[in-house]
Chain A
């Protein structure tokens, strides 16, 4: 199904070739900048990525290569192994990998670098008013390394004194937020927790799917899934990449691409916005 959807992935990743690129070496064939993204996009996905890649290549005067995988975990592994220079990842992996990566830029969604988790249920399940009403139901998670699609709902249950492992009758992963919305829409799952950015973007492009779901509750705000750079990426590359992202909203081509992404632009970002996630992770004994 993801192949039929318009784009979007909550978290994606990039990477830059480490230690490369001084002007003096311009004549030497340079390695492509490797940017990894987690799944999801659409028929139009390849078209969009090709356009974005061409845009980036032109701005950076260096070829760009997108790397995609089916789960967050695989992108995280590639990042750890330095197979990627940059990556667009979820806030949870960002905090998880804080020793390997640093913040590059944060997208602006509705003009702010934040997003939330939506608790959604099939539209016909009108009696559900909170997560507690889904006891012994079938619940869909997005990805084991998704904040809004996994960490957040489990944290909520824990806060309410429930054991997230046994609260639901059955859970399964859809490995993408779009699939998660679909699973809830068709009634495969009785509920799910989804990235607000994905749900809102999908609501813009495919209201026929979102209309079959209902938002029961919204979580507090989290820092938006950021673009990160591996620590090994040289400063020049880091800066040119950051500059490229921060100025996307300033030119027409960049604006068109942002619009297709349903974003308003990029800011430098603040690591303190991700402290809530770190706290939640600590609650589960992670970090």
Chain B
């Protein structure tokens, strides 16, 4: 059992060709084996046909000899066929003998074991069976095959006109059949070997064709638990059978797993940003109140405390610092609950005007494509802020003499704004933290622009995504904003 088990544990790479080869060899052996009985029957049939015709000729020649009681002549007649012997003549009888009417040996070619006048039936059990068959036989030649005997007996009556004078018995050893059977089986064996020479390599190739894709698939399935493996190139096995379907199913599953992983990462990212936003808002609220108190106190002190010039200067420093903190905190606190008119095509013209000085400074061309025909029901102040932030960032990223594309469109219930620049693409790590506060990609500003954009878009229920690639030396960074348009 153990060797069998270890066979089944083998890789398909070996198991399929081995199993196929085994089946082919087994088939060849069975087919060759099936030749045995057929060859035996054919050869036996040949032997008996020859023996019968020889027996009938000899019996005719023996009739006068028996009639005239010419023992020597009878001996010469039955002895003659034994001298036709050639090594290839497997049809050679082993012994010939003539029995008289009482089934005593009249003459035989083996006088030592079958002497004249011997009672044939009593010489051995086998001869007894043969003699019994001879006693019952008619005028036709009869083949007698005693059970478990190594010999075949062909008995032909010797008849003179009507009188039965005796019986000619030709004894053939079955061993004589073997060389011819072996020859014919050997022939079948060669044909089988030839077939094997063709089929085994074919089978090996086919096994390899089947096993290799299976192996690849297995390797990848095993990887699945700790990482997402590559896709399987379908060209390794481009058929519609179960294996081919397994391949496609694997690729589909892999695709779904990838998408799921992407979504999970997006969720984690946005949850983090939400948490940061909440923290920032909380901190800002807590800081705002004392700040306002401190600024009011400084104002009171300056107005009623009559500070001297030095103190006044210190107060100014304090006031400037606190104001800066206020501004920063205010910037972190993105407040979207402002009353604002709807975003109109005129707002786009304003944005163009506002960004123009910066574009001119860096000689960046901004190509616009706007498909906004009527006002969209979105707070114009906030949308303008997002647009300006993103376009200024893009101009910055594009660098001197660079190019920026801006697209504004409304498709169904979605407001779309897209900015593309051809500047250096963003690294994976940069993209990962892009919308967090104080992330400074462009090395200018406080790093709150994209944070603000994200907060605004997020609070408006929209989505902001970045896509930065470098393909064949051409970089392309795209910021896309989608905002749902509330039905009026």
Contact = CB atoms under 8 A, between A and B. Distances in A.
To the question of whether A and B form a pair in one complex, the answer is: yes
SS class, residues of chain A in contact with chain B: mixed
Nearest to A140: B72
Given A172-B69, A173-B72, A187 B112 contact: yes
A172 B71 contact: yes
Contacts of A262: none
B117 A186 contact: no
A197 B116 CA distance: 28
Contacts of B72: 140, 172-175, 179, 183, 188
A1 interface: yes
B415 interface: no
A31 interface: no
Interface string B95-111: 00000000000010001
Given A172-B69, A183-B72, A188-B71, A138 B107 contact: no
Given A172-B69, A186-B111, A188-B111, A138 B76 contact: no
B79 interface: yes
B115 interface: yes
Contacts of B115: 138, 187
B85 to A, nearest CB: 14
Contact of B107 (A174, A175, A188): A188
A188 B117 contact: no
B22 to A, nearest CB: 57
B322 to A, nearest CB: 145
Contact of A183 (B69, B70, B75, B117): B75
A170 interface: yes
Interface in B51-69: 69
Given A172-B69, A173-B72, A179-B72, A187 B117 contact: no
A113 B305 CA distance: 190
Interface residues of B, number: 13
Highest count of chain B CB atoms <10 Å: which of A1, A169, A170, A188:
A188
Interface in A1-20: 1
Interface in B75-133: 75-76, 79, 107, 111-112, 115-117
Nearest to B80: A1
A188 B116 contact: yes
A146 to B, nearest CB: 14
Contacts of B112: 187
A126 to B, nearest CB: 14
B96 to A, nearest CB: 13
B224 to A, nearest CB: 90
B79 A1 contact: yes
Contacts of B71: 172, 188
Interface in A169-212: 169-170, 172-175, 179, 183, 186-188
Contacts of A173: 70, 72
A186 B96 CA distance: 14
Highest count of chain A CB atoms <10 Å: which of B71, B112, B117:
B71
Interface in A109-150: 138, 140
14 contacts: A1-B76, A1-B79, A138-B116, A138-B117, A169-B117, A170-B117, A172-B72, A173-B72, A174-B72, A175-B72, A183-B72, A183-B75, A188-B71, A188-B111
Given A1-B76, A174-B72, A183-B72, 6 more contacts: A1-B79, A172-B69, A179-B76, A187-B115, A188-B75, A188-B116
Interface of A: 1, 138, 140, 169-170, 172-175, 179, 183, 186-188
